[in-house]
Amino acid sequence: LYPNPKGWSAAINAWETFQLEWLNDSQVHCIDPSKTSSSKTILTPIDVYGGERKIVAIPTTEKVFVIEARQAGVWTSWKADEKGLLAYTVDPTAKHRDHADNDCGNDPTIDKWAYYVYPNGVANPEPNCGFFDKALVGVGQSVSYNGIDVTLEAAVDGLYYVKIKID
């Protein structure tokens, strides 16, 4: 979440934090869609230190559907009301590409390792040049990918209550 007119975040996203082994395995809520049809968890935002769970990872046929909570924190400079879940798909086999030529956002025609998944009812607002707030899933909203529905049920005292339903 790079500098833009709305703010910036130096907090590394949850997927890369996991890859760097900066999260304990217990902080990853991994769901096998072939073994469960629903789950609930409580996420602590990646922008703040500590917390029992930092990431939901759901492997699908080709990608991993990742959910993390985001809010203003020590490494983040944006408005306090800009908070919620951030959902994205990751291709764990992709060659890492970031800031490719002529890239300014979430364009699926440009090969990258990850893409935002926007809340239900929000179209991909390309070009989305760093405006992360369009991708945040607020309380009462859901985001869906490949038969997986994720709802932010509540955000209380810095904890994000998440419900996952798998068709």
Band (pLDDT 50/70/90 cuts) for residue 114 is confident
The pLDDT, as a whole number, for residue 17 is: 92
Band (pLDDT 50/70/90 cuts) for residue 47 is confident
The pLDDT, as a whole number, for residue 74 is: 79
Instruction: Kindly report each contact of residues 62-67 with a partner whose C-beta sits within 8 Å and lies 24 or more positions away, as own/partner.
Output: 62/91, 63/89, 63/90, 63/91, 63/92, 64/15, 64/89, 64/90, 64/92, 65/89, 65/117, 65/145, 65/146, 65/148, 66/14, 66/15, 66/90, 66/114, 67/43, 67/143, 67/150, 67/162, 67/164
Band (pLDDT 50/70/90 cuts) for residue 99 is low
Overall pTM > 0.75: yes
pLDDT mean over 18-24: 92
Is the pLDDT score of 100 beyond 90?
no
Is the pLDDT score of 4 beyond 80?
no
pLDDT mean over 68-75: 86
